[in-house]
A and B are shown apart, each in its own frame.
Chain A
Amino acid sequence: MSTAVESYGADAKPRMGFFTDTTICIGCKACEVACKEWNLIPEDGRLWTGESYDNTSALGANSWRHVAFVEQRKPLKLDGEVAALDAEPLRWLMESDVCKHCTHAGCLDVCPTGALFRTEFGTVVVQEDVCNGCGYCVPACPFGVIDKRDLPRSPDDAPLALPIFGKKEDGRVWKCTLCYDRLKGGHEPACAKSCPTDSIQFGELDELRERADKRLEKLRAEHWNGARLYGNDPDDGVGGFGAFFLLLDEPEVYGLPPDPVVPTAHLPKLWLNTAVAAAALLTGIAVSFFGGRE
């Protein structure tokens, strides 16, 4: 459950992350496109949802950035003058969601192969040459970010060898890597690079947190309705996000959990409980040996 950046010794880098300021998101989806292009993410079907401008719907194995669109009958500002002008208020919230790169990451904790690891930048990444597709990380993420990719079989696949060898369909889990390859080369992640309004800001986490505090102060002074930071608190259930947000409403309005907790926070107690249950099972069976053989 540690962030484990210390284990890199001299190679450890400052913790990098995203500050996604949704108040200046214009819903252009350049982040979604740039992410798909850079990371060679396959197309996974198109479906018209009727949910505002959102046909991506959720983060998943093939969507590592997801722009949420929320249409609300609420005033954008609670300033008396502005509200009076707004006879029938309507605001359009847009938020580019992404993997939170948690300080205490459920996916990383439960991964049994060590495929998921903590990089020298403090981010959480899957090694696709190690992942065996056990799928444990999928329900272990409190945000529903990581998912298994199933691609249709290609006609080139040898039919008989499929179960053991040469399986070309995917079967592994995928999520945002915070563009680990670009970071290694000294570049910012593709989504942040492509964002035309700087709604997605990339940088050292400590610096981003300071910047976010100032921004929130300004928005509050301007009476923006519902402005709040989400995921900036190092004492929350996941130890703070590496990628945090400035929102204009409750997290659940954007499809985010209001109080996420890493599952492994309960694990020490759960292990103890499991051991006691095992001892009880042993005792119960031993007791059954009283009363004769028949």
Chain B
Amino acid sequence: MNKDKEQLLNKRYKAEKRFRLYGQSAIFMALLFLTIFIFKIFSTGYSAFQKTWLIVPVTFDAELMMLEQNPSKEDLKDADYYDIALKSMADLDPNANEDQENELKRMVSYFFEREIKRELLNDPTLIGKTKDVYLTASDDLDQVFKGNYPRDLPEDQRRVTDYQLKIFDQLVELGKVESKFNLSFFTYPDSREAELAGIASSFMGSIFSILVCLMIAFPVAVLAAIYLEEFAPKNRFTDFIEVNINNLAAVPSIVFEHPKILL
């Protein structure tokens, strides 16, 4: 009899322990999900904060830029930079044929012309001289440099050609490829070109919609709360209001999109 009791007690204690373990593992699971989640996002996303630049020598040839003698600031702004930009990319490989020159051009973003222009506007004395200019690498080469690009795929299955890889590797060996903090990620608007994409415009959009939202929600919500808590009589109508308020918080946000379309 005594033994039975002891067994029962043991069983109950074991159940107690098991139950406690369930609770602990539930908390553990929830925190584990959170950790995996945050780890995954950061480990995948952090490399976007670095941007790859190619350092390319650019010769600011006044003739190619269609510039007269002693150009004014306005002239510099209107000058033609496309040709010197193209030429400096093509000069990376003196033996390049026409197709290869095209490929060379595609190693940098289509902003390269403007990056060269900015350099000259900062320092107009550069005319006729050669200077190393930082040009944004194309997004594919950016991934190559970060080691995320499947280089061993057959050439016809990837966007970076063997030729581009060859030149790129040469540049890397010469130390002409640099990875710097991706400031343009915060200052550029969104773009189809991954290397030029930034969050500036969408960030402003978010800020403005938050502002509008606050301007509407804050006063109305505080006033309504004061009324319901301090003044409202307890009756069916105020109950109805409260159910409505709680319901609004739980209505799927997509239902709110419909009126937006109608307006």
A binds B: no
Give A contacts to B, CB under 8 Å. none
Give B contacts to A, CB under 8 Å. none
